[in-house]
Amino acid sequence: MTADRARGLQLYALAAALLVAGAVWWVRAAPVAVADPRVAGWKDAVARRLPDATPQVQADTLVLSRGASEQREAAVAGGTFTLTMVCAGQGQVRVRLSTSGNDSGRAVPCGDRPDPVMLTVALAHQFFMSITAETDSAAVFRWRLTQAAAF
């Protein structure tokens, strides 16, 4: 065997080893698809604690895994709004209403019997909310944006 062929064989072997290592890493890094059996009960709990209201601008229920982040936006006509949030699970969910990311946000505690958290916000034309789960497992977060009553 010549030196060039030996070097070529080594390169092919190294490429194959890298390909196998990459495939193993890719498969092991895939998220675990095991559903938490408590999520269905938590969805019912947040739906009971924070039902849809008439009229409402927007509402949503999110299932958040540990460390997950979501963002929600809505066009609004401007004025004063009430943001009501509730979280079922363990830990807390941090909510930021600033697009700049400079604020620390508001922690919404999660529990088996969650209590709603309400904020009054003044909006010009756009509602933005960043949601980050600070939990050890899954959590169910529900929020509702309604127009605040005029004074």
* pLDDT for residue 32: 66
- CATH number of the domain residue 46 falls in: 2.60.120.380
Q: Are residues 143 and 80 in the same domain?
A: yes
H or E element at residue 22: helix 3-29
* pLDDT for residue 3: 86
Q: Are residues 134 and 68 in the same domain?
A: yes
- Give the list of residues 6+ apart from residue 63 with CB closer than 8 angstroms, or none: 39, 43, 138, 139, 140
pLDDT tens per residue, range 17-29: 999 999 999 988 8
* pLDDT for residue 50: 92
- Chain centroid to Cα 63, Å, comes to 7
What residue has token string 């916000």?
121
Taking CA atoms, 88 is separated from 83, 96, 124, in Å, by 17, 18, 31
Q: Are residues 56 and 120 in the same domain?
A: yes
**pTM (global) more than 0.75:** no
SS3 13: helix
Rounded CA separation 17/85 (Å)? 50
Residues of the chain with confidence (pLDDT) below 50: none
Q: Are residues 110 and 45 in the same domain?
A: yes
Q: Are residues 90 and 24 in the same domain?
A: no
